[in-house]
Amino acid sequence: MNSTLNNAYLSVSPEVQQALSENRPVVALESTIISHGMPYPKNVETALNVERIIREHGAVPATIAVIQGKITVGLTKDQIEYLGKKGLDVPKASRRDLPVLLSRGMDGATTVTTTMIGAAMAGIRVFATGGIGGVHRGAEVTMDISADLEELAQTPVMVVCAGCKSILDIGLTLEYLETKGVPVLGYQTEEMPAFYTTHSGFKVDYKIEDPEDAARTFAAKLACGLKGGMLLANPIPPQYAMDLDYINSNIDAALKECNELGIRGKKITPFLLDKIQKLTGGKSLEANIQLVYNNAAVGAEVAKALCREA
């Protein structure tokens, strides 16, 4: 078992701890989607459904959050309910926020970045989420680049997602990941999915055929001691995908309002996602939920295959 389980700021549930010690598959899950992703009780319902899907695919779910000053890996149902009810009152915790939240005994909803950190501390190698952050449009002026990309460059966790969020500059995000040496793999696709849509017009580095292929690739990276993680881009199921032009027009409208209101920093993404949900009449929220479910299922299969590689 990972020696970091003794860390004073880390709390791992008995179920997750036992699974790791027995080399059984575990899939990490973030908590920002609970507190900041959607309203209560839809957020709690979605989170519990994601955990159920992972269990149905033969793996153990490990939802991660900062609870009373501890990076908690494997939330209980009551803790998920607690985060869901508190909603936006729970601080959004990225890497820079962790020292303050931990030292002050506070709560925090983990982003992709901090979920990767918690997963790595506990010894979990696979993390399923919706979409990663990336390089924002206009970043050549604002320098607005998500910490998720730096975390992928240094933390050894495979992130299963539906690409980066459509509100971002996908081309620049891929360039950044290439510079940092992060492999971007397409799950049964050669094209980088764009969150709500299966197409973006940008190619991934390599196409991955199945969970075993993904596990072998990541196992080879770990065996060579190569720093950082890996991105497995898994397209949203076609029946839930949205038209690229339709979603882009709504993103443009949301970005225009965001700029007019002077919204900056970490407030941009939640504002844009909420605005796009309203502009699409809730269709983007449903698409978001379905792609998360799909990523959870693929993440569980990859985690099982990775255990077989050990």
Q: Which of the residues are catalytic?
A: 30, 165
Distances (CA, A) of 124 to 28, 109, 259: 7, 18, 39
Q: Is 143 left (phi over 0), alpha (psi -120 to 50) or beta?
A: left
* Cβ-Cβ contacts under 8 Å for 159 (sequence gap 6 or more): 112, 116, 127, 128, 129, 132, 152, 229, 230, 231, 232
Place of tokens 């915790």: 93
Distance between CA atoms of residues 289 and 266, nearest Å:
22
Contact 66, 72 (CB under 8 A): yes
What is the DSSP-derived secondary structure letter of residue 132? B
Distance between CA atoms of residues 104 and 101, nearest Å:
5
Give burial (CB, 10 Å; 0-12/13-18/19+) of 10. Answer: middle
3-state secondary structure of 195: coil
The sign one gets for the Cα dihedral 72, 74, 78, 80 is: positive
Query: Strands 108-110 and 60-67, how do they pair?
Result: antiparallel
Side chain identity at residue 300, one-letter code: A
